[in-house]
Homo-oligomer: A and B are copies of this chain.
Amino acid sequence: MAGKEKPVILVTNDDGITAPGLHALVEAVKDLGDITVVAPDSPQSGMGHAITVHNPLRLDPVDVHGDHMWYQCSGTPVDCVKIAIDKILRRKPDLCVSGINHGSNSSINVIYSGTMSAAMEGAIEGIPSVGFSLLNYSLEANFTASKTIAHKITSNILRHGLPQGTLLNVNIPDLSLMDIRGIKICRQAMAKWVEEFDERLDPNKRKYYWLTGKFINQDKGEDTDEWALANGFVSVVPVQFDFTAHHAIPFLNELNYELDTQDS
């Protein structure tokens, strides 16, 4: 951050501007800097890294508590970060925090998560960024412990920064602070969803489907986020947006790619 100026902190989420988790996150970090909130005007769970290219966006100030800058945007979480930087913030923020998500974004969920994609977009823009999720899907979830943890982790980031090209995926078990065993740096567990689409008939007897599924953790490692959460720890996974599988390059270089131009 520049000199003694207060840090500029951008807050967003994917559950939308009215979600209790967003308000909890603002409370958690409001003493650390100047807060600007730009969040979707409706829930955007499962939006991944979607951006809005075929529709215009709306952006409107919202009077929430009188003392902060709150905006709602008609786009995705990633749109919120992009438009905040281009149209709202007076300079590049010192921190981008996303969440607190109502529900887990551990292991493979990082890929589907709008919460994490917003944080990833912040990191792509060169802003130290972190997404927070509480392992409780309820609107009535208790964010007391989450606020303490979010404050601790964001303070650390403001003080020490993050390695270039990385952001943090923080998942918090649904426990009181007394029962949380600590904060653990982890890797993403290798897990997946096994889909079971629920098939139904509409009133006109046409089929439709609801996406449901079972989460399967195939990874027994004790250095994973799934292990940490199952054992009462907060999981912190450093995440990168270089998706290159560098280890696969030698294998691929062994194969033959000669093109027969006669094929054209």
Task: Point out residues on A near B: beta carbons under 8 Å.
Answer: 43, 45-54, 56-59, 76, 78-79, 82-83, 85-87, 108, 110-112, 117, 120, 124-125, 144-145, 148-149, 151-153, 156, 160, 162-163, 165-166, 168, 176-178, 180, 182-183, 185, 187-188, 190, 192, 195-197, 199-200, 206-211, 236-249, 251-253, 255-261, 263-264
Contacts and interface: CB of A to CB of B under 8 A. Distances in A.
A48 B78 contact: yes
Contact of A244 (B237, B246, B255, B259): B237
30 contacts: A46-B50, A46-B53, A47-B48, A48-B78, A49-B50, A49-B112, A49-B117, A51-B211, A57-B210, A58-B206, A82-B197, A82-B211, A83-B195, A87-B199, A87-B209, A108-B124, A108-B241, A111-B243, A148-B263, A149-B259, A152-B257, A152-B259, A162-B248, A177-B259, A177-B261, A177-B263, A182-B257, A185-B249, A187-B246, A236-B257
Contacts of A242: 187-188, 190
Contacts of A257: 152-153, 156, 182-183, 236
Contact of A145 (B176, B192, B247, B264): B264
Given A43-B54, A45-B53, 19 more contacts: A46-B50, A47-B50, A48-B48, A49-B50, A49-B111, A49-B117, A78-B112, A83-B195, A87-B199, A125-B192, A163-B251, A165-B245, A166-B248, A168-B252, A177-B261, A177-B264, A183-B259, A188-B244, A238-B248
Contacts of A260: 148
A168 to B, nearest CB: 8
A258 B46 CA distance: 32
A196 B94 CA distance: 20
